[in-house]
Amino acid sequence: EKGGYASFMLKEIADQPRAVADTLLGRIDGEGSLHLDEVRIPDADLREVDKVVIVACGTAFHAGMIAKYAIEHWTRLPCETELASEFRYRDPILDQRTLVVAISQSGETMDTLMALRHAREQGAKVLAICNTNGSTIPRESDAVLYTHAGPEVAVASTKAFLTQLVACYLVALYLGQLRGTKWGDEIRTVVRQLSAVPGEVERVLETMEPVRELARSLAHHDTVLFLGRHVGYPVALEGALKLKELAYMHAEGFAAGELKHGPIALVEKGLPVVVIAPSPRGRSVLHDKIVSNIQEIRARGARTIVVAEEGDQAVVPYADHLITVPATPTLLQPLVATVPLQVFACELATARGNEVDQPRNLAKSVTVE
């Protein structure tokens, strides 16, 4: 069943180009327009939406954090992303014009289910992004957009995450298309760029041997930190979550701008710090700031592991280890930047003798609140 791979997790990591391609399939036409006919919320209702709220847990929550950037940028609608387990306890402000997006691989996560029930009670429309046909979350939602990752067996979520991102981008672009925001041309360009992602993920997968080697060399460490800004911040959180659940290491993700507000005190000689560098093209301000963060931590002795776009020369002098990913538009970068972090965590956990498909204390779907 593992198709020659040592674990389901490795098989699922390798399956990502196919999973991303299948999730895009039939949803984009040759003109670069989106068709989400399966989403059974009438376009007229979607045009009325004045706020989007995303609820999810764990890895799906990280996909939702990234979706917030995409939705706000492409639709100019306010969007919040909240942990499903916190959502209903703060009595959130929702009404008929709120679109709640519930993201769940399994479709059975109790925290997410309770959040969506609460949202529907308040009159909000709920759209599920889900990987499991006919599961409880899509059944109880107004509409569903399925991810086509295929069955995900390993407890650590990998291909579900990438496909959740794709589904979130599709929702964001579709809302943008419906609303006819001034980003029309940009939307068409991004739609085309999304189609290139499966090939880019494939390329990342082909260059992972140095990442595996690096992971093995860090097996004796106790702590690894992850830093990112903008959409790189949720990627940092996701890299840290993978390492916690698989390698049982202290791993934390920070927004790079927060470093100076506390976390930099953790940096000591030899501490591995993974930094996700945004593209040097486009928003170069963000890039410049990350470069100075890398300099700061390196000056304090950190061993810097930098995930950067191919051809990014500015990070080279400060990267003890450089992991390059293909150039993508900033908002899409998580689709390629997360992949090396999955491989890194899987290899590090294996080097520590852990069972990667079944980490201790965890279940694939969490059906209790």
Q: Could you list the residues that contact ligand M6R (CB under 6 A)?
A: 57-60, 104-106, 109, 112, 155-157, 241, 245, 365-366
Give the integer Cα–Cα distance in Å for 7 and 153: 10
CB of 50 to ligand M6R, least distance (A): 27
Give the integer Cα–Cα distance in Å for 136 and 106: 9
> Which residue's CB atom is positioned nearest to ligand M6R?
58
Name which of 58 and 176 has its Cβ closer to ligand M6R.
58
Name which of 75 and 105 has its Cβ closer to ligand M6R.
105
Question: Please, what is the angle between helix 197-206 and helix 16-24, to 10°?
Answer: 180
Give the integer Cα–Cα distance in Å for 225 and 244: 11
Give the integer Cα–Cα distance in Å for 289 and 278: 10
- The CB-side HSE value for 356 (13 A sphere, CA atoms) comes to 24
Name which of 105 and 177 has its Cβ closer to ligand M6R.
105
CB of 136 to ligand M6R, least distance (A): 11
Give the integer Cα–Cα distance in Å for 138 and 131: 9
Closest among 279, 270, 258 to 218, alpha carbons compared: 270
Name which of 104 and 333 has its Cβ closer to ligand M6R.
104
CB of 311 to ligand M6R, least distance (A): 31
Name which of 156 and 215 has its Cβ closer to ligand M6R.
156
**Is residue 18 a contact partner of residue 158, using CB atoms and an 8 Å limit?**
no
CB of 99 to ligand M6R, least distance (A): 19
CB of 23 to ligand M6R, least distance (A): 15
